[in-house]
Structure 1
Amino acid sequence: MCGRLAIKPIFTQGSSLGFRLVLLLLVSIALMTMDHRYRHMESIRSGLSLLIYPLQYLVDVPVTLGNWIADSTSTRRALLARNDRLTFENLLLREKLQKTAALEAENTRLRDLLDSSRKLGVEVIVAELLAVDMDPFARQIVVNKGSQDQLFVGQPLLDANGVVGQILHVGPVSSTAIMINDPTHAIPVQVIRNGLRAIAVGTGGVDEGLALLNIPTNADIQEGDLLVTSGLGGRFPSGYPVGVVKRIHVDITRPYAQVLVAPSAQLDRIREVLLVQMAQPAAAGPETAPTGAE
């Protein structure tokens, strides 16, 4: 029937997929051959690369950002670890430096002691301090030498600068010594300038640790005079420095002047002492201040 409507087929017949694929491959090969020989596609390729560059950049941003974060994190961790290591090494070096400074100071003290012993020309024993009596009314120390080292009561102690004191009690491996600034200690001295003799007793102090007894107000003694051991009594050999006259106070109402002496030995800073080897006195015992001494 001519009035009948024509029905359009659902499936149109066309070329197969295989034919299309072969056709596309041939076209691609032809285009690549022409581009390789005549460079006809160079301008097109340049334009396309310019158009897709922003897309390439956007695609690469996450990767670049991830690498930057990873590098920054690892770098920060490495810096923190290095900082911790350097801090630890710095502490070790500072601790070693402190030990080195202490050893240098000890070597200086020992060298001074040895030089002093050579100047004295006597046999001595070097002893280290073990303890210091904290009693404010006593000035005593404990040294690491005893009877096994042939120490005896009354044996003189020196440092590099002068007389420190004498041995008070002797034990097998340690001994107690009384220092010259102890209030119960006395030592015969003389002024090296004119030979004036006196008795120096301890005051318990450090800067003015000694006082001279019974010095007449008209005696020839001056501030700055050096006092040395006189050798009287046989306890201390003569000639050892004891102290320097620091202050003289004269009261016209009193018969005697007040003479205060700064000890030559560094009584508050000694770490090692020299024990003088000498003949043991017949009556072993430390010299004490006279009864009623001011």
Structure 2
Amino acid sequence: MDTIFTRGPSLNNRLTLALVLSVLLIFVDHKLEGFKSTRVYLNSLMSPIQYLANLPGLILSESAQRLTSKEQLLAENQTMSNQLLLMSEKLQQFDVVVKENEQLRSLLQAPRRQESRKMVAELMAVDKNPYSQQVVINKGAIDGVYLSQPVIDDSGIVGQVMEVGSTNSRVLLVADVTHAIPVRSLRNDIRFIATGSGSLNELYVEHVPHSVDIQEGDLLISSGLGSIFPEGYPVARVTQVVRDESRPFARVIVTPTASLDRLRHLLLLWHEDDDDGGTSDEIDSDIEPEDNVVEELEDA
């Protein structure tokens, strides 16, 4: 006959067993990648829930757009027309620079840069963890998204894909404390490593000797090293350089060029040697998000 009060394992034994199982699962997941496929399936199962959670915001945004006054629409139309005219003028100059660059490469017998595939993605959710800077986008494996794929916005590099589901993906921002990106100064081509600080508006450039020529206002662009981010995209601008001789290295603080706190539409980039076919969301390859770099070169 079963008793009402049964005596099981002690709390210490339960705690020890839980810790051992936790360490074992962490080891299998981190070293052996035993749960990689499981995470993909779970992410796919969560996709409908994320879309449903994002639905009220989309409905409110659509309703607000329908209630916009006619005067505001006319003003926005005029502003966009002016911006389109300015960008068209810059695009004309950019076409001339591209043709001159191709001629110089032909004379030097240097390899030409191939146009890379691009795809527009939209922000779905933002990670609420204060110690992690991640976002979720509405493109996944069925769209050809892959791990470590570079992501940019209209101002510069945003981050890279860290998890891929069937219909959505998780992007690790450059501001995350675990993220680092190789960069170089547009002014003098000196190479650095920019690391995340945990704050959306601040990055660190570490291990910079006091004798290195880096100044406030310098634009840092991706160097292309590491085979993750393509070369030439804006990453950050130097905002503070503190040279304290009592410390072995200078303290360099930079601000991301991308609007990490106001993300909405993003651009996924494919490597130049990727031969995958395009999709219906693929944009025209003649529109290059490197206009900021070209503008800096023109100003110089």
Pair in the same fold by TM > 0.5: yes
Q: Structure 1 residues 150, 97: closer, same or farther in 2, change over 3 A?
A: same
> Which of 192, 216, 219 is 1:198 aligned to?
192
Counterpart residue number, 2:238:
245
Q: Structure 1 residues 249, 174: closer, same or farther in 2, change over 3 A?
A: same
How much has 1:93 moved relative to structure 2? Answer: 10
Q: Secondary structure at the match of 2:261?
A: coil
For residues 53-103 of structure 1, what are the alpha-carbon distances to aligned partners after superposition, in whole Å with 9 as ceiling and x for unaligned? xxxxxxxxxxxxxxxxxxxxxxxxxxxxxxxxxxxxxxx9982439x76xx
Counterpart residue number, 2:142:
148
Counterpart residue number, 1:97:
69
Residue type at the aligned position of 2:205: L
Counterpart residue number, 1:227:
220
For residues 224-269 of structure 1, what are the alpha-carbon distances to aligned partners after superposition, in whole Å with 9 as ceiling and x for unaligned? 0000000011111110100100001111111101100000000000
Counterpart residue number, 2:170:
176
Instruction: State how many pairs are aligned.
Output: 181
Counterpart residue number, 2:105:
none
Residue type at the aligned position of 1:97: S
Residue type at the aligned position of 2:209: P
Residue type at the aligned position of 2:154: A
Q: Secondary structure at the match of 2:142?
A: helix
Larger radius of gyration: 1
CA distance in 2, matches of 1:227, 1:93: 37
Q: RMSD value over aligned CA atoms?
A: 3.1
Unaligned 5+ segments in structure 1 are 1-91, 281-294
Q: Secondary structure at the match of 1:131?
A: strand
> Which of 154, 158, 183 is 2:152 aligned to?
158
Please say if 1:127 is aligned against 2:99.
no
CA distance in 2, matches of 1:138, 1:188: 20
Residue type at the aligned position of 2:188: N
Residue type at the aligned position of 2:67: E
Give the TM-score normalised by the residue count of structure 2: 0.55
How much has 1:217 moved relative to structure 2? Answer: 1.1
- Summarize the alignment of residues 271-290 of structure 1 with structure 2, pairs less than 5 Å apart: 271-278=264-271, 279=273
Q: Structure 1 residues 94, 173: closer, same or farther in 2, change over 3 A?
A: closer
Unaligned 5+ segments in structure 2 are 1-63, 99-114, 275-300
How much has 1:140 moved relative to structure 2? Answer: 0.2
How much has 1:122 moved relative to structure 2? Answer: 3.1
> Which of 193, 210, 216 is 2:209 aligned to?
216
CA distance in 2, matches of 1:149, 1:210: 31
Q: Secondary structure at the match of 1:218?
A: coil
CA distance in 2, matches of 1:148, 1:93: 30
Counterpart residue number, 2:181:
187
For residues 193-234 of structure 1, what are the alpha-carbon distances to aligned partners after superposition, in whole Å with 9 as ceiling and x for unaligned? 111101100011133x21001100111000000000000111
For residues 103-157 of structure 1, what are the alpha-carbon distances to aligned partners after superposition, in whole Å with 9 as ceiling and x for unaligned? x69x96xx99xx8xx9895321000000001111111000000000000000000
Give the TM-score normalised by the residue count of structure 1: 0.56
Residue type at the aligned position of 2:166: P
